[in-house]
Amino acid sequence: MSQTVGATVSEETWTLRGYEMVVGLEVHVELATRTKLFSASPNRFGDEPNTNIDPVTLGLPGALPVLNRQAVELAMRLGLALDCTVQRSTFARKNYFYPDMPKAYQISQYDEPICVDGWLDLPGSIRVGIERAHLEEDTGKSTHVGGTGGRIHGSDFSLIDFNRAGVPLVEIVSRPDIRTPEQAKAYVSELRAILVAVGASDAKMEEGSMRVDANVSVRLPGAEFGTRCEIKNVNSVRSVGRAIEYEAQRQVAMLEAGESIRQETRHWDENDGRTHTLRSKEDADDYRYFQEPDLVVVDPDPEWIERVRWALPVLPAARRARLADATGQRADAEAILVVTDRDQDAYVLAVAGAGGDAGRALVHVKEAFAEQGERPSVPVADLAKLTRLEIDGKLTATQAKQVLAEIVANGGGDAEAIAASKGFEAMDTSELESKVDDAIAAQPEAWSKFCAGEAKAMGALVGAVMKASSGQADGKAVTALLETRRDIAIA
Amino acid sequence: MPTNSDRQGLPAGVADISWNVRNNVTSAADVLERHLAAIDAREGDIHAFNIVLADEARLRAAEIDEAVAAGRDPGPLAGVPIALKDNMCTRGIPTTCSSRILDGWRPPYDATVVTKLHEAGAIVVGKTNLDEFAMGSSTENSAFGATRNPRDITRVPGGSSGGSAAAVAAGFAAASLGSDTGGSIRQPAALCGVVGVKPTYGAVSRYGLVAFASSLDQIGPFANSVGDAALVLEAISGHDQMDSTSIRRGPFEVSRQLDMGVAGLRIGRIADLPEGASPDVAARLDEAFDALRDAGAEIVDVEVPAFGYGLTAYYLIAPAEASSNLARYDGVRFGHRVEAPDTNAMYMATRTDGFGAEVKRRIMLGTYALSAGYYDAYYGRALKVRRRIAADFAAAYASADVLLTPASPTVAFRLGDKTADPMSMYLCDTYTIPSNLTGDPAMSVPFGTGDDGLPVGIQILAPALEESRMFRTAAELERRAPK
């Protein structure tokens, strides 16, 4: 297996004994509507069990579903954000018995989903196709008491909370375009960012408002797709990577041992880091889909679709590109990803707009603003001034960091005044050069090792300079001076 | 043999009761007591009701009388005693569908039609017997015993709304509501000698009607006259935002057109109508055409080639939907439960014990029709037939305004006659099923008698939302019916 760590998702590859993995993801997200998909009960997480219920939610005899317009609009928003086509759609009944499914059928879009044929670009240059995104209702939540592991088998009794029943879900089905665990993780992270950006969902995997199932198969490059297994219970971005990597390894091992892969649904166990058979294809229910006769066709008119399209916010990919442009970095650079994910990209651009340096602002926001939200407490002008002092050589990076710490602690402040109060003065180059020469003279052994190519030996020299300058010297400048002198010495 | 004379001494009907109560000529309480007395006298023989709501009805009558005394108008159905088929939800009152599976269940809400009846000033006197979950044509498939035909208690009242038809025929209520999925209002109306209407699909809200086959079910009225049926239909129709399939339009206004006659109307005779009507019924149908011709209508021949395929398509579509609609009776949240060691065993024990034979038969039929590998051959093909039938009717309506057929192939048959042979029972609905498949309105109006002096019903079919011309034709037949 070869895996390049730290590269962008477009560069790394995953292969094992010549096999590659083929992965498609099915992501369920709960829509952030006020009420449920087919009734007026609140769609709210964390309430007392069985308080957000009504005859429709409980599937009482005679109750009928009425489609929530806001849910349709949010589905359209996320579909358009994924460059899908919004089309005429219908609902079907998926019939199966389970205690937390009140009607014994789930109302779900089946052969005519609302959104089809889109794509999602991962940071880097990987494009993952979106086959469809369709609306459906969530089930209630069962809690199995007694027995082991919270499973229904062997439990003494079960409790059902119907608050979640009827909550609107969109299932987003990717094409099998994913080839590495890193791509899968990037897909989930990027999808999450888009869902949050368009206001379709809070997409919290830990609260179950975003749930990922992975279809995994392996093949020799260029061969037909292999038999796939569906992996359930993947509850974090990290698990997505671990689960599909484990599963692909398992399948390769089976093929190498001359066995064949059975199409089945498997359960990811976070604790032992393995997947386990849940049910084979032969045991799968026959869902007896047919068109839901209690609902009518959903056919958004073009005007409505266009209104939704125009109301879309700037999406994360475009925001990253904008930030990359302003800072001169790659769009998939770590700082760009982190800062955009924290919704602090607009702040960085505002600092630049106030006369600051975008590149330095990006670094400071990434390093020092992790605890701050979308709107950091430090006034834009204060950070702008700090970065200007750095660019003008009036503060070293190390000094700037200390000044910024005080600005953050006080929720603002004048960088120049703080620097003065700390006695920071930018050393001019000649002063720094003499300190570097002093260090070389004081440690001839370290110097000769450094010249012989031992990079580690540089640490002692830099340390001496920093000590001599009471920590005020710019580390980068010291390194540069040392390297220049070495190059001259060995030339 | 009991005859119409059984109803003597009761107020004539919906229109008269309402007028008298609104104008303080009669009290709602008095009207109600006379109906409750009729129930006391004959309900033991007939068994029209699963529950008689005498106490609730008396309270309601008092409210209406107080409203009138205070100068308020209780509404167009003021003081009218009405019976409800026991598959319509009533808040706090058992709603059984004549099935053990709903044992002990009391709905927390009223069906939209119940709310509308209440707002119109009607009084619900009780909930009527039916074939379990509305599956049947004789009201013999009830977990609580059969209902008998007030015209001859050795005969069935028809079904599945047999209790509602019998309640009106016996004078237990001035009108009643039934539901019609394949003829369940029109066939019992014909057999009991009353008027029964299946409105256009979507004209009356289904919210609170316990579903049998959602794409076919429709609520409609029974009454002793066409005019009374019109008044009840006006009160219960109109858009309801709780039912997505409800048509966006106001209530019907058919009453004022009842006297318009049929001059100039084109009445269609279906030349290729499937055979099966007994000679006595066929004779009344011929007379009905003659009567309408005499009244100035034009009789035209039309063809509806796919008419005869309705029955087979229906017995795939209706069970398919039913198999899904009835899956919720699983013992988990309400109704009957048979305890068992695990969930699947509990499901099986509960459903085995709670459902009757006909319901189980249809659940199995429908489950099969929707199964992987069989869908296309059965359910999928039935949907195609359904579209074909709709197209054939649309073509027929290009040359006819309404169509006439028998409502039932025969007059009321004897209890037990068809219970051993489901197919013979299914054939009762040959003439009524197509309008459920198309969603078009149809009604049965009494027109003379057939064998053994039992009532014959003529079915009038019309295009969607053309209830007005259907009612005009029915009113003319009523005026010209053989005495």
A240-291 pLDDT per residue, tens:
999 999 999 999 999 999 999 999 999 999 999 999 999 887 777 899 999 9
**Is B399 in CB contact (< 8 Å) with chain A?**
no
Q: How many CA atoms lie within 13 A of B21 on its CB side?
A: 35
Q: With beta carbons under 8 A apart, name residues in chain A contacting B371.
A: 286, 288
B418 among known catalytic residues: no
pLDDT digits (tens, 9 = 90+) for A309-324: 999 999 999 999 999 9
Catalytic residue of the set B18, B138, B142, B160 = B160
Closest residue in B to A54 (Cα–Cα): B108
pLDDT digits (tens, 9 = 90+) for A206-227: 888 999 999 999 999 999 999 9
Tell me how far the alpha carbon of residue B235 is from its chain's centroid: 16
For residue A45, pLDDT beyond 60? yes
**Is B209 in CB contact (< 8 Å) with chain A?**
yes
Which candidate from A64, A99, A102 shows the least CB-CB separation from B343? A99
**How many residue contacts between A and B have a Cβ separation below 8 Å?**
100
Residue B9 pLDDT grade (very low, low, confident, very high; cuts 50, 70, 90): very low
**Is B88 in CB contact (< 8 Å) with chain A?**
yes
B384 among known catalytic residues: no
**Is B97 in CB contact (< 8 Å) with chain A?**
yes
What's the gap in Å between the CA of A176 and the closest CA on chain B?
25
State the complex-level ipTM. Answer: 0.95
Q: With beta carbons under 8 A apart, name residues in chain A contacting B105.
A: 61
B184 among known catalytic residues: yes
Residue-wise DSSP of A119-165: EEEPSSS-EEEEEEEEEEE---EEEEESSSTT-STT-SEEEEETTST
Span A176-192, average pLDDT: 95
The reported pTM is 0.89
Cβ within 8 Å of A, B 32-61: none
For residue A4, pLDDT beyond 60? no
- CB contact (8 A) between residue B244 and residue A65: yes
- CB contact (8 A) between residue A293 and residue B214: yes
Q: With beta carbons under 8 A apart, name residues in chain B contacting A61.
A: 89, 95, 97, 102, 105, 107, 210-211, 328
Mean pLDDT (chain B, rounded): 96
Interface test with B, best of A57, A64, A72, A110 (most B CBs within 10 A): A64
What's the gap in Å between the CA of B409 and the closest CA on chain A?
30
**Contact indicator for B251, B112 with CB cutoff of 8 Å:** no
**Is B365 in CB contact (< 8 Å) with chain A?**
no
For residue A6, pLDDT beyond 60? no
**Is B424 in CB contact (< 8 Å) with chain A?**
no
- CB contact (8 A) between residue B214 and residue A294: yes
User: Residue A101 contacts by C-beta under 8 Å, 6 or more apart in sequence?
Assistant: A139, A140, A165
Which candidate from A64, A66, A102 shows the least CB-CB separation from B328? A102
For residue B358, pLDDT beyond 60? yes
Mean pLDDT (chain A, rounded): 91
Q: With beta carbons under 8 A apart, name residues in chain A contacting B209.
A: 62
Q: So what's the pLDDT on residue A2? A: 33
Span B188-194, average pLDDT: 98
Residue A9 pLDDT grade (very low, low, confident, very high; cuts 50, 70, 90): low
**Is B320 in CB contact (< 8 Å) with chain A?**
yes
Long-range contacts of B201-204, Cβ-Cβ distance < 8 Å, separation of 24 or more:
B201/B245, B201/B436, B201/B439, B201/B440, B201/B464, B202/B243, B202/B245, B202/B246, B202/B247, B202/B439, B203/B237, B203/B247, B203/B252, B203/B441, B203/B465, B203/B467, B204/B113, B204/B233, B204/B236, B204/B237
